[in-house]
Every structure is written in C-alpha cells, then in structure tokens.
Amino acid sequence: MFGQMMERQLLISSIARHAELQHPRREIVSITADNPRHRYTYQEAFARSRKLANALSRLGLQQGDRVATLAWNDYRHFEVYYAVSGSGFVCHTVNPRLFEDQIVYIINHAEDRWLFLDPVFVPLIEKLQSRLPKLEGCIVLTDDAHMPQTQLPRARSYESFIASESDSFEWPEFDERTASSLCYTSGTTGDPKGVLYSHRSTVLHCYASAMPDAMSLSAHEVVLPVVPMFHVNAWGLPYSCAMVGAKLVFPGSKMGDAETLQSLIEEERVTFAAGVPTVWQGLVAYLEKTGKRVDTLTHVLSGGSAVPLALMDLLKGRHDVEVVHAWGMTETSPIGTIRSMSPEANALPEERRDALRARQGRTVFGVELKVADDDGKEVPRDGKTFGALKVRGPWVAAGYYKRNGDDVFESDGWFNTGDVATICPLGYMQITDRTKDVIKSGGEWISSIELENLAVAHPAVAQAAAIAIPHPKWQERPLLVAVLKPGASLSREELLQYFAGKVAKWWIPEDVVFVEKLPLTATGKLSKLQLRQQFVGYQFPPG
Amino acid sequence: MFGQMMERQLLISSIARHAELQHPRREIVSITADNPRHRYTYQEAFARSRKLANALSRLGLQQGDRVATLAWNDYRHFEVYYAVSGSGFVCHTVNPRLFEDQIVYIINHAEDRWLFLDPVFVPLIEKLQSRLPKLEGCIVLTDDAHMPQTQLPRARSYESFIASESDSFEWPEFDERTASSLCYTSGTTGDPKGVLYSHRSTVLHCYASAMPDAMSLSAHEVVLPVVPMFHVNAWGLPYSCAMVGAKLVFPGSKMGDAETLQSLIEEERVTFAAGVPTVWQGLVAYLEKTGKRVDTLTHVLSGGSAVPLALMDLLKGRHDVEVVHAWGMTETSPIGTIRSMSPEANALPEERRDALRARQGRTVFGVELKVADDDGKEVPRDGKTFGALKVRGPWVAAGYYKRNGDDVFESDGWFNTGDVATICPLGYMQITDRTKDVIKSGGEWISSIELENLAVAHPAVAQAAAIAIPHPKWQERPLLVAVLKPGASLSREELLQYFAGKVAKWWIPEDVVFVEKLPLTATGKLSKLQLRQQFVGYQFPPG
Ligand SMILES: Nc1ncnc2c1ncn2[C@@H]1O[C@H](COP(=O)(O)OP(=O)(O)OP(=O)(O)O)[C@@H](O)[C@H]1O
Ligand SMILES: Nc1ncnc2c1ncn2[C@@H]1O[C@H](COP(=O)(O)OP(=O)(O)OP(=O)(O)O)[C@@H](O)[C@H]1O
Ligand SMILES: [Mg+2]
Ligand SMILES: [Mg+2]
C-alpha cells in the first residue's frame, strides 16, 4: 500500500522557483572577463535564466540532448546550469584543464550539440573545431562589445542570444529521474568517464550537503566556490546555495589567484569557501606574506585530495578558519563524507582528536559506505583494517555514460570507488590509498599516502610520492620519489633513517630518489600513472 | 533520458541504519511510567527495534497493515515507530486526547490490528474494547513487573514480547512511496481525517526540517520534543534527530508539566525544544514563579496555533531563548513554514522586524505556497491581500485515508489548507484566520485572529474569541467573546473603545460578551465550532 502524499518530483527548476520567491534580493557576485565585479540578485538571475530557456527552445533540441559548457564560475554559467537542466536538456560541464585530446574525446563522446564557452576558450575550440563534427553552434559567454572575432559555428554572444526573449517561461515538469547534467571524471587513473546526474540525485545531494553537520548552508552565509563549476557542479554549490538563499561569490577565472580570493573574501564578507587543498595552501602563503586577513571567513571545505593537518592547524591558529575535510568523487555528486566533529569526537584527548580531524569524515545521510577485503567481505570498523571502499546512495552513479561492463558497479548494488580506506568505530573514514597506488609487499598492503604524509612532514621535503616497484622476493616494495624544498639538502640515508620508528619496519621505503618535480594530471592531482611510467625498469640497489 | 544514478529508495529504515553507524553512542533519555529517567544509546535503541521487528514478524501481519500506538513520548514508542514502519507496516499513532467516540471511530476506520499502549491507557481501551471488534491484540509498553491486570485481547508486556527475539533483522527494501504511518487531524473543524504518510515523504520532510534555516538539527543539539508522538509524528523529530544524531529527551506523560520540563532541560542540557504555544506559556510562568533557569536552551519551535509576540519577547529578553514560529498541518507532515529571519528581514527597522517575527514564516525547500482569491486566482504577495492558503509538495497529502471526493484536494494539484493567509514580498506567510472562522462583513473579510490578538493585548483580558454572527444589513458582524483575568474588571464599552484606532472602523466588534471560559477541542485548541453553537440565535443589541 502506498502512502497518500503528492507525487511532486524533485526537479532543479523547483530550486529556481523557491529561490526566486524566498530569496529574491540575495546577491550573486561574479568576476567575469568583461566585468571585474558584476552583481545582481537571485530574482534577476532566474529571470535571465528563463530568457535563456526561451532562447534554447528555438534550437530544436530534444529532451535529453547535451548542451556543453566550457567556462569558469560566474553568473552566466549559473544561468546556463538552470536553463539547460530546467528545460529537460543535459548540461555537460567540460573541464578546460583536461588535455586537448581528452576534451575532443568527451565532447564527441557526449555528442554535445551546442557549447556555451568563455571568450578565453574560443581559441582552444577553434583549434579543436575540425575534430568536433557534431557541434552545431557556440554561444560565447559575453556581450557584443566583448565578442571576439571567430569562425566557430553559429557563434554569437550570450547577451545577444537572450536579449529579445521574454522572461516568462513555465519550467516543464517531468520524472525526477530525468538526466540533468553530465560530468567526466578527472582522468587521474585513466580516461575520463561520464557520470550522468539526475534531477533527483541533484536535489537530494543539495539537501544532504546543506545540513548543519555537512556544509551548514543558510541564508546567512556568503559562499565562495573556488572549486570550478566544471568539477562535479562546483560540488553542488550553485544548487545548494540557491536552495538555502546563500549569497554566492563567483571568482571567475581567478580561481588560483590568492590575491583575488583574499580581496573577494574581505570585500564581499565571505563566510564559507570550498576548494582543493592547493587553494588553501596558496591562500595561506599569500596571507603570511602580505599580513592580510580573512576575518569574515569561518570555515572552508577542502576535498579532492587529502589535506595536511599542518595546513588545518595554520588556518585555525592564525586565521580562526576551520578546515572541514571532505571526500567525494565525480561518481558521488560529489559529497560522500564530511569531517564534522561529533560530540564524542570532541571529547577525545587532543591527539586522538587530531587523528580524527585528518580523516575524511563521516557519511552525510543518504550515503552508505563499507570497506571490504579482497573477497568482498566487510572488514571491521576498527580504524585500522583497510580495504576497498564501496559506496551506495541515491546520488551515487549506477554506471558510466555510454559504457558497459565496468565492474566497479558491483552486482550487489555497491560502487567500488577505487579508494582504499579504513573506518573507525565513531564512523570516520580515512582514505589510505587508491587501489591502483597501493603497494603490496609480501602479501600485505602498505599505504602510499601514509608514507607521503610522513615524508612531507620532514622540514626539507616539499613533495613526495611513494610507488610500488616490483621486487623479486616481496613482489612489490615502496620507492619514495621526493622533491626537496628550495635550498634544502638531505641525503637518501637521512630520509630513510627518518622513517625509523614512525612506521612498521617493513613499511620503510626500499629506496629514495630525489627529482626536480612530480608529474601532475590535467586537474593538478599527482599522476602516479605517469610516475610509474617514468620508473618502469627501475631496480632497487642491491642489499 | 534518465540519469544513471542508483535507484536507492528513501526509507525510514535507512535512518535507523545511518544512526546506528554514525551516532552509535548518542543518547536517548526518557521518562516512562516505570522509570523516572531511562537512558540508553541509539545503538541500543535500534537493536531493540530489530528485536521488535522480529516479534512483529510472527503476528501474521501483511505489508500495509495498520499497527496502532496510544502512548506518550518515550523510547519504547520510538522503537515501535521504527520497527513498524521499517517492516513495511503502517504505524497509526492514536491521539489519546481525542474524545472517546473519536478514538473508537479512528481505530475502527484505520482497521488497526494490534495496539501498543501505555499502561495508563489500559483502562480507557478496556472501556472501549467492546466497540473495537477488529483489534486482535494489545502490547502494553512496560515490563512484566509493571504490567497491569487486564482482559485486553492477547495482552502482554512489551518487554516480554521482545525478550527472546534476536536483534538481527534485515530491514526489507521496498518502494519509497510505501505507506509508513497514519495520523488523523485534530478534529478542530470537524471529524478527524486520516493522513497516510509514505517513507519518501517522511525522509524528505526530515531533510528539509533539519536544515540550518529550519530547525537546524545537528549532532550537537539536545532535543526535547514536547509535541506528542501522536501529533504528526512529534513534528518528525523522532526521525530527524536520528538522522542527524541529536540527543533525544522524551518527557513521557509529563508534557504539560513545566516543573518536569525545566528539570529535564537543565539536567539533560537541552538546547532545542518543540511544542505548542501553551507549553511555552506554561514554562515561562513557571520560570517567573520559581526563578529557575533554562540556560542551555537556545531556541524553541512553536507551532499548532499562533504564538503571541509578547511571549516571544519574554522568552528572548529574560531567558535568551529564541522562539521560532512555525506553521504546519497534519496534512503537511507537518512542516510548511518556519520563521527564520533572512538577512533582509534582519536589516529592517525594529517595528517591521517584529511584524515579521510574528508571522508564521517562510517555506522550507520542498513546500510551495500560494494565496488565492475566491476565483482561485493568486493574490499579490504584498503582505496585505488575504485569501485561501494553498500548498503543495512531496510531503503534502494528496487525499485522506479511505475517503473520496474531498474538494480540498484541488484538481490542479494544490491542497486547500482551510487557512486564510497573506504572504509578504520577503516570502513570510501569516495566518489571519481559518476559512471557517473568517467573518464576512459587507462582502469584505475580517480576520478573527487579528481581533483576538488585539483583545488579549489588553491588560484585563485573559482569552478572547471572535466569531461571526448573522446580521441583517452586513450579512455577518464580529462578536467578541472574552474571558477576563482573575480580579480584573472591564466593561463592554471600554473594550470596544479600546479597539478604536487600532483597526479599521468596520472591523470593530459589534458587541462583547464576557464568559467564564472558552470551549476547547480535544487537543486543546479553541473550538469555534462549539462557540458558534453556544451563540446560535444570539442577537446584537439594537443600534
Ligand atoms: N579528501 C580527500 N582525501 C583524499 N583523496 C580524495 C579526497 N577527496 C577526493 N579524493 C580522491 O579523488 C578521487 C575522486 O576524484 P575525481 O572524481 O575528480 O576523479 P579522479 O578519480 O581523480 O579521476 P579518474 O576517476 O578519472 O581516474 C577519489 O576517488 C579520491 O581518490
Ligand atoms: N503557527 C501557527 N499559527 C496559527 N495557526 C496554526 C499554526 N500552526 C498550525 N496552525 C493551525 O493548525 C491547523 C493544523 O492543525 P491540525 O493538523 O492539528 O488539525 P486541525 O486543523 O486543528 O483539525 P481538523 O483539520 O481536524 O479540523 C492549521 O490548518 C492552522 O489552522
Ligand atoms: Mg576516480
Ligand atoms: Mg485541519
């Protein structure tokens, strides 16, 4: 027997409708190529989004057709998000930092029909244009005054595209499982794979991520998404901020520029920001150098890769900013876990509390995790036993777009993340490795991340990566590849000696090699894939 | 085209699973008939709930069968909630304050097969037993030591019922639209009508109500639900607190006892409580009298009927407790609006801010409101124009249980609440009346609630009710029925005079009648139905 409740569908357009009525005057502030500080309200944003929806309706698109974006975080990109998904099309956010071949691959694979792109990316697409035969037209996210000369198909400025349209438009109603947006993974472990989100998954992810023990989003927050809108929908912030009526501050292409970030934070009174650890590293260094402040900022969400405890302590100690560690994936929309401290965690002695703070956190409601051994059996939640991290929930992918037979989507309904993790009795998960990066010595696993964390805690070491090298007796043994800090000197023996007593003896790297720099992926993550290629054929010194 | 996300269902059992893993050690504290202060953890609660699920599985119930409760707020009632709904049965929470005929009516109408009841209600059900032919068995919510002698069918104590059961039980998976619980309306305007909630509506309502600008529920809160678990699922708190891991404090039958509430708040360090205005009125009076304090309490949610601004000011001024006004109905699960202050509202001059504070608030995301005139046309959101309040959303009823043709479920998908309201440009809704209570004078509406609020603001008036009396010239004119404070004296003329200048002239009551007391419904709301019956045939004084 079913309940007798209304069958209202969870649609992205309902976020738009809610924000317009409930938060009409809240602001969206953007840095764009044509305006150093654009500001308007949610009311204006959604009125323009409806104009765009009317313009889109003339393009002959079918429900489910893909419309791509190649753009930084700003208000026009925000309008495109809502107009495309709200109309029943799929908003495919292309990552401009991917390698050119990858960009060509994903636009063709997605069969994008139209592309909304920032002026700065026009030369890139012109270069790739001949390899993108299915692209029918391009809208450049600017006005006529700033429109570059271009031969891109049917190219015109965004402002001229929407100018003569009416701002009245009835968002269509459809099944909440309808596809809303498409994002490809970062390509850290292989080719990017497409994740096709639905309206339902997007709205549920919003609810969960806005909760007090998650991002704690409200109308009183001023939010700076430093994570790009082409990166898992800027972690959902363009949706969740509109849902709760938080003021949004979009840094445009100035994402990596600490000076801009600091001035945006100060001038717009930003309270909450989200981004990868390198953003916070850059910001802290800039604040140290200039003595500038970020007084309104109370907490930042850090995800995408592990954040060092030292960085957390620095931001807390010097700037009273709480770093909230989070874990997620393109496949998880992305929020999986958030490191909120529970009352029990807060009651622990400082050392054990710090150990928890460094963990990737606890699941938000809706996400379920388990850690399994090689036979698929769940391992104890003892904080020590590690294994393959598996996840399920209404905003977790059930497959990749136009791909079949990926065995990461397991037959019992769980998604195998490719991460290796432990979970402690209080529910805090910690990523210890990626499955592909784990080092298997004599049948036992060594965490490459733990070795790296230890190495970078050494005052002379700037960066470090541990990879597995085949070994005649132990199958695999760890090799540590390290970059020294400018001017620092350290010998191989000293660094190896430094590990003694800090990890089990058999975890100590077999050897250390110093290099000038480590290879990065297109999205700035350490590329162990490339590093392993560099060290193919490497042999440990005898003895 | 559908997104490719997992089709995980939103089930009440997933709240149980989440709470056990994420908040295992958080406490649930209860006052029960057999224990003045029972305490245990979520982990223990759900282990016992699974024992109960195993016990229930032996009763031969079918999916969708109704299992009733007649009980105050405590841990056993909590266990019943999860075991019954989690197993796929429907938890029908019967309101013991209803009149006996109403109790008989709803138990028979729901066709409840089993009843879980507090020992204190055993005599009541024994008395009604002969009129409840479909009731197969009764479980008394106590242990054998406290089990009363009774002839109720198959009666046994709850503890003996679950004692020998295993605590391992796999919660079944099913469609999220499956019915989960059943609650009848308060019977203020007529016979109680059944609202049949689903797992989906319950979980979505949880998400929305826990948000920072709604109830702001987190693992750091200690929550005291003073609203009964038979009243729209205690406003969802037994679910939402488990979802976020808030400590729960259940006052048992001591709901209306300010002394108990104060000591629970103090001893358990309660931060948030929820209940109807009379609860706060009683608590404030008690604090005034005894000089006792509620230092840990930061905010209370008040709903069910309008809360006077004076009470809000008193709680804020003397005790630093923020009263959060909320509006809802049995038909809306119940949260419809919550009076969170937006930044724009906070920026208003004090007087206008106070006017907003007295309003019933803004919709939480998921609920949509509109106010319509007699022709069904939406009226402007100007804060002045009033009309019929209509609502829709995934946790709003689409019909009443086993009833057809109720025209409050309108053909365009909106539910006509029976309330009369205005909405202001900032989105704040205010209830001005119930449709059935509105006074229509010369074709124009007069708000009975506004007249009553004005009357009780007079220092000599304790309570007041305004009702419509037929009038030869104006169709209807307001009659004010008032109860004076003990010892106070006030003439009819003085009170009428007092209205001058405070409302439009034609809003001033035609007459005042002083009475000893006003009639209340079974749930303690003012019964205008009865009051109108008392004044049938009343004639206004000539002139
Ligand atoms: N807080 C964190 N700490 C450590 N690692 C993290 C954290 N957050 C995310 N990650 C890593 O990032 C991964 C998800 O990244 P993303 O979805 O951007 O693509 P990718 O896995 O890097 O690329 P691909 O899947 O194409 O190889 C996770 O599986 C995890 O390995
Ligand atoms: N904050 C509030 N201010 C004013 N009135 C409120 C408030 N909250 C709820 N109400 C009133 O309570 C009603 C909902 O109450 P409930 O669902 O318990 O049953 P009822 O309407 O009293 O009874 P019945 O529908 O059986 O006549 C609303 O329709 C509204 O009239
Ligand atoms: Mg990946
Ligand atoms: Mg009602």
Kindly compute the dihedral angle of the four CA atoms of residues A269, A274, A278, A284, in this order, to the nearest 10 degrees.
Answer: 30
What pLDDT does residue A179 have?
Answer: 98
> A240 exposed, middle or buried (CB, 10 Å; 0-12, 13-18, 19+)?
buried
CB–CB of A197 and B90 under 8 A? no
B14 CB-near residues (< 8 Å, 6+ apart): A365, A366, A368, B8, B203
A5 CB-near residues (< 8 Å, 6+ apart): B177, B196, B197, B198, B200, B201, B333, B394, B395, B396, B397, B398
Nearest Cα residue in chain B from A427: B22
Q: How many CA atoms are closer than 13 Å to the CA of B403, on its beta-carbon side?
A: 20
What residue ranges of chain A have pLDDT lower than 70? 543
Q: pLDDT tens digit string along A170-216?
A: 999 999 999 999 999 988 888 899 999 999 999 999 999 999 999 99
Q: Which residue in A1, A5, A296 has the most chain B C-beta atoms within 10 A of its own C-beta, making it the best mutation to test that interface?
A: A5
- Distance from C-alpha of A437 to C-alpha of A452, rounded to nearest angstrom: 12
* b/e map A61-94, b = 16+ CB within 10 Å: beeebbbbbbbbbbbbbbbbbbbbbbbbbbbbbb
CB–CB of B398 and A26 under 8 A? no
CB–CB of B6 and A178 under 8 A? no
Q: Check: CB of residue A297 under 8 Å from CB of residue A274.
A: no
User: Partners of A433 in the beta sheet?
Assistant: A420
Residue-by-residue DSSP string for B189-219: SSS--EEEEEHHHHHHHHHHHHSTTTT---T
Pick the CATH number of B12-421 from 3.40.50.12780, 3.10.20.340, 3.40.50.300, 3.30.420.40: 3.40.50.12780
User: Which residues in chain A have Cβ-Cβ distances shorter than 8 Å to B344?
Assistant: 25-26
User: Which residues in chain B have Cβ-Cβ distances shorter than 8 Å to A406?
Assistant: none
Find the helix packing angle between B309-319 and B277-290, rounded to 10°. Answer: 40
DSSP secondary-structure letter at B65?
Answer: -
Pick the CATH number of B438-534 from 3.30.300.30, 3.30.460.80, 3.30.420.40, 3.40.50.720: 3.30.300.30
- Distance from C-alpha of A265 to C-alpha of A286, rounded to nearest angstrom: 13
Catalytic site includes residue B331 = yes
B438-534 shares the fold of B12-421:
no
What pLDDT does residue A37 have?
Answer: 96
Q: Provide block-wise average pLDDT over 10 residues at a time, chain B (543 residues).
A: 98 97 96 95 98 98 98 98 98 95 97 98 98 98 97 97 98 98 91 96 98 97 97 98 98 95 98 95 94 97 89 94 96 97 94 91 97 95 95 98 94 96 95 92 90 91 94 94 94 95 94 95 86 94 80
Q: Check: CB of residue B398 under 8 Å from CB of residue B409.
A: yes
- Distance from C-alpha of A223 to C-alpha of A241, rounded to nearest angstrom: 8
ipTM (interface predicted TM):
0.95
Q: Check: CB of residue A33 under 8 Å from CB of residue A253.
A: yes
User: Which residues in chain A have Cβ-Cβ distances shorter than 8 Å to B24?
Assistant: 425-427
Every domain of chain B and the residues it spans: 12-421, 438-534
What pLDDT does residue B543 have?
Answer: 67
Catalytic site includes residue B440 = yes
Could you tell me if B25 lies within 8 Å of chain A, comparing CB atoms? yes
- Check residue A20 and give left, alpha or beta (phi > 0: left; psi -120 to 50: alpha): alpha
What pLDDT does residue B189 have?
Answer: 84
